[in-house]
Amino acid sequence: MRRSDLAVFVPDEIEINRLPADAVTVPVIVASRLADGMVTSLSVSAFEKTSETRAVLPLAALSLSPEEVRAGLDAGDAETVAQVSKRVAYRHVALNVGGLPLENGSTSFVTVTVDAVLSGRRTREIVRLPLHVTTLPEVPGWYGGDGHVHTQWSPDVILLPLAQRARYARDNGFGYIIITDHEDGIGERWGGAQGYCSQCRAAEDEYGIPVLPGVEIGASGGGHCLAYYMDETEASAPSNRMFEAKVLLDKIEEHNRPLSYGIVAHPFERRERWRDWSVRNLAGMEIINRSRKSRPEAVDKWFEFLRRDLSRTLRTGEFVVGVANSDCHNLMEPGGRGFTWIKPVSLGTGHDTSSKRAPLTRETVWKTLREGRAALSGSKDLGFFTLNGAGIGEIAHAHAGSTLSFTLECHPSGGRRCRKITIFSGDGGQTVLRPGRPGTPVRLQARCPRTSTFYVARFDFASPGGRRPSEVWTNPVFVRVTDA
């Protein structure tokens, strides 16, 4: 039996984002291309330790190539998942790394070994994947999380419990996680004692971080929308692909008025491109999705909205917020390629969060995201700035011709560094800065323009040798300009 007859699918990489770590968990999917059979053993090895799971897991031959299976799993293709789900073996294999002296910023490898019997003959497949120890930056007042996460509630995900996602988030130092399964997998089970929202509550109680229920809904004319801050007592959310974009956003707002709102998901993805940009009640859009970097067309569209709505923003404080999410399905883990940092003003107790790390509430997460007090990260690094003391998502006041004072900070994940900072102004101008040491403020002074505008910063990060390059974009700081 040729080795290629057994296909083993694992993540592209594994990250440890919090030290000390107790365990490394590797999701493994095993498929057979040419014959029925069974998996007899799965083992994971790293740091000279091995964890083995012995079990009889049946396999049925697949007609799809390994490349087709992998592409379908990563994309969350429901047709591929339907073909694969009853024919493959799937396990999360945990390796205990408690007590090991793991070095922050280091890279190692995980070896996955699968033993199987196909058509009565024994076969083995071994795969290796990189493991990065890169802890999240700890900055007072900032909390990171992923706002677009799928579980087995979605038709395009294989056997991945909601609680597994919550545990991963807790173990890796997330401040929150938003579960956004597809509406057609949730149906009439949104609310209720055993429903989707109840599972989120149970996971939150078990793992001690906000596990928020969102839902991904398709518009009839194309594109997907993330519905946030929905009414958890309702039986259902607006139906998938039943409404054109404008009506869908109206339905989302009506679900838990005045709190609920809609975020456009992966707006320029080829298969699910958002079509209707004429909508006026869009709360936000994903600028980074399944990537360590932004899509240029997404940034261009975002800036177009920021310019178009500037007068309204200065009047109401509302604008189209940018977010970064992973849209993780199957083997993808939350936050790996898309992670949003938020900085709440308060946690409902009247204190500012900049002085200490207080527990988050669900309401605070929803509210802070809607206000745009957020930085969009491709790889969990953090960068932010203030302008005349105003933070991200806020409005500064200045006289025409006066001095604008910028203070910028970069905070890379463990073992990484910031390579460049670029400040973008609403009129199209750019200023490039050399970053300082992590956590050391970089200061810039500029002349205030004659008319009101906004500023956005982009931080470019990378691992040593330029590997794993990524971006962080801030939401804007707006400037209301008055005559001297």
Q: Is 437 helix (H, G, I), strand (E, B) or coil?
A: coil
Give the chain's residues under pLDDT 70: 1-4, 346-358, 484
In angstroms, the CA 380 to CA 337 distance is 8
**Direct distance between the N- and C-terminal alpha carbons of the chain, in angstroms, rounded to an integer:** 82
What confidence score (pLDDT) does residue 348 get? 45
In angstroms, the CA 131 to CA 119 distance is 34
In angstroms, the CA 229 to CA 252 distance is 9
Interacting residues of 115 by C-beta distance below 8 A, sequence separation 6+: 39, 40, 41, 42, 122, 123, 124
Task: Please tell me whether the overall predicted TM-score, pTM, comes out greater than 0.85 for this model.
Answer: yes
Stated as kind and residue range, the H or E segment containing 387 is: strand 382-387
- Give which of 259, 225, 252 is closest to 236, Cα–Cα: 252
> Residue 96 CA to chain centroid, in angstroms?
26
What confidence score (pLDDT) does residue 272 get? 87
What confidence score (pLDDT) does residue 241 get? 87
DSSP for 174-217, please give it: -SEEEEEEEHHHHGGGSSSTTSHHHHHHHHHHHHSS-EEEEEEE
DSSP for 251-318, please give it: HHHHHTTTT-EEEEESTT-STT----TT-S---EEEEEESSSS--HHHHHHHHHHHHHTHHHHHHHS-
What confidence score (pLDDT) does residue 358 get? 67
What confidence score (pLDDT) does residue 357 get? 59
- Give which of 166, 149, 215 is closest to 188, Cα–Cα: 215
Question: Helices in 334-430 by DSSP H: which ranges?
Answer: 362-371
Sign of CA dihedral 124, 97, 20, 415: negative
| Predicted confidence (pLDDT) per residue in 46-97, tens digit | 999 999 999 899 999 998 999 999 999 988 888 999 989 889 999 999 999 9
In angstroms, the CA 446 to CA 380 distance is 29
What confidence score (pLDDT) does residue 76 get? 86
Left if phi > 0, otherwise alpha if psi is -120 to 50, otherwise beta: which for 454?
A: beta
Q: Which domains does the chain have, with CATH numbers?
A: 3-133 (2.60.40.10), 136-379 (3.20.20.140), 381-484 (2.60.40.10)
Interacting residues of 473 by C-beta distance below 8 A, sequence separation 6+: 287, 288, 294, 299, 322, 324, 375, 376, 456, 457, 458
What confidence score (pLDDT) does residue 354 get? 46
Is residue 379 a contact partner of residue 413, using CB atoms and an 8 Å limit?
Answer: yes
